[in-house]
Each structure stands twice: as C-alpha cells, then as structure tokens.
Amino acid sequence: MATRRTNTLSQSHPAMNGHKPPPTLPNPASRSPFLPTSLEALILIAYPLTILLGSLYGVLTISPELSPYNPITQAHDPSTAPSYFARKTNIFNLYFVKIGWFWTTLGFWALHLIPSRPSPTGPSTGPTSITLPEPPPRLLRALARWSLATLFWLLTTQWFFGPALIDRSFTLSGGVCDLSRLSLPDDQPLKIHETPAGPRGLRNIQDIASGAACKAAGGVWKGGHDISGHVFLLVLGAAMLVFEALPKLSSSKGRGEGDGKQAVGMGTKIALGIATLKGWMLLMTAAYFHTWFEKFTGLIVAMTALWTLYFLPRGVPAANSILGV
C-alpha cells in the first residue's frame, strides 16, 4: 500500500497554503539608541501635556477684563492677579523657581551621595546597616552629566559668549531695552538711540544686551521674542532628576523576598520631591505667565538639552563611556 505523501512545501510555507504567517514582534534591540524607551517617552510627554493643561486653564478661567495681562512685564497686575501663584512675588517663584538650578543641583547630588538603607525584606545586615555611596566611576559619570547640564543652563540663561541664548534670541527678534521712562538732569526724555552714554555707569547703550542689565538700568525689555526661561529651567530640572532616579527606583523594586532589594532612599525622595514641585510650578507658569509661543520655545530648548544629555550619547560610544547613560 502506497504511503500518503505529505505536502511539506505547503506546511513549511503557510502563505502558499492560503494562510498568513503570524505577525512578528519588532525586536527591541532594533530601536534607535537615539530615541527614548517607552518609560522615558511617557516621562517626557508629561511636560508638554502639563504646559498644555496649564495654558488651557489660564485661557478658560481668567477674564482679561478683570485681570489684564501685561505682555511687557509678562505678568498680571498684582492687585488683580487671579491667583497667589499668578504673582511674581509668590514665595515659590522667589525662592524656588528663581534659583531653580540650586534646587536641581541639590536634588541631583542628594540622589547620588546619600546612601540608601536596605529594604526590610532583604537579607538582615543589622538595624543600622546602610549601602555604600555609589562607586567612584559612577560618581564621575554623574559629575560629567551634571556638568554638561549646568553648561546648558549657563549658555541658555547666563552667558553665551556674551549675552545668554535667551537674551540673544530676544534682541535678534527685534527686542530692545526701552529707556524712554528715564530722564536726563534737564528733565528731557532719554531716548534709547539718542545718547552716547547709558545710565548708571554703562558706557554706551549697546552694553544693555540682556534683560538683567536692562532692568538694572531702569529700562523695560520689550519688542522681541522671549524664550520662557522658567519653562526651560523647570522642564530640564524636573526631567533630569526623574531620569537620574530611574535606576534607583528599578533597584528598589527587587524580584521577591530576600533578594537584597534596596528601599527608596532619602536622596531619591528628595530628588523626586523637588521634581514634583517643579512640575507644579511648570503648571502654574503655563497658566499665568508667558505666551503660548514663548512657552513652546522654552520647552523645545529644554527638550534639546535633555536629548543631548541622555539620548545622543547612547549612539556615540565615546560619549557614553564618559556620561554613562
């Protein structure tokens, strides 16, 4: 009796037998090293969503007639401000946002220098035992990341081979320091382009090339596009602290009883607390200060800095060996 022949070709090739092959899942290794992971993408998307939510809240709830917004001072009049957080003199703006890089630095180094205690579910090493701080190579890479982030902060808000990037973009877009409110000894108005000598010791009017110098001279910085420095600092600082905390949070989860997992340390709690307050102040900034475009450009500059710091080095081995991201 002849044996029944099986069609091995059709079995090995389902498509030839009228059946579609099962879909194949993309290989995670095929993801570009220059792009964030799914978790990192969720973290990053939180910041534009916060800005959008705050901006919509401001548009929908604030009456321009009852609480007019001054585009020159970029704030509501304190006497008619719709909220305590809409005043530039609120304590969180003065002592947290204005010195934001100090708080970012504090959270960053608290995270890396304050040791963590072992979780109670881990091996018993005594009630007072703690883990050692991070080994020197990791601390050196953390120092490199902090230094690069600090460089971005300096170039954007303090100094960029002269005026900072924010001030340069303002003047390049047509902004000037308006000194028309000042007056000369003979009580004649001081015109910005009519005097060879600037006020209060400035040798000439061209020396007023930053918002801080203009304010110190008694003038008003107006006419150009102002990248939101608050949005830049809050997004960069908050996301940076969260990214730095991710490895600590992963190690604290552990894989079961007795695996030696670490409890969330005090340094991690400090960093995440600062990041959370930065997120809240980002929401308040979006609701009460700056135009949509000013907030958008501040966000773009912050995202560019974050990509350069945390994602670009992953595809450049030499840079990653220094930064360790």
Query: Any idea which residues carry the catalytic annotation?
Result: 230, 290
Q: How far apart (Å, rounded) are the C-alpha atoms in residues 139 and 322?
A: 11
Say whether 222 sits in a helix, a strand or coil. Answer: strand
Q: Is the dihedral of CA 109, 111, 149, 175 positive or negative?
A: negative
Q: Distances from the Cα of 246 to the Cαs of 43, 185, 253, in angstroms?
A: 11, 61, 11
Question: Rounded to whole angstroms, how far apart are CA atoms 202 and 208?
Answer: 8
CA distance 284 to 85: 6
Cβ–Cβ under 8 Å, residues 107 and 274: yes
Say how many C-beta atoms besides its own lie within 10 A of residue 68's C-beta. 11
* Rounded-to-integer distance, Cα 172 and Cα 160, Å: 14
Q: What is the DSSP string of 100-142?
A: HHHHHHHHHHHHHHS--PBPTTS----TT--PPPPPHHHHHHH
For residue 186, the 8-state DSSP code is T
Q: Distance from CA of residue 17 to its chain's centroid?
A: 55
Q: In the structure, how many helices (H) and strands (E) does the chain have?
A: 11, 4
Q: Please report the sign of the dihedral spanned by the C-alpha atoms of residue 253, residue 44, residue 166, residue 75.
A: negative
Token pair, residue 185, equals 């000894």
Instruction: Say if residues 161 and 210 touch (Cβ distance below 8 Å).
Output: no
Distance CA 267, CA 290 (A): 33
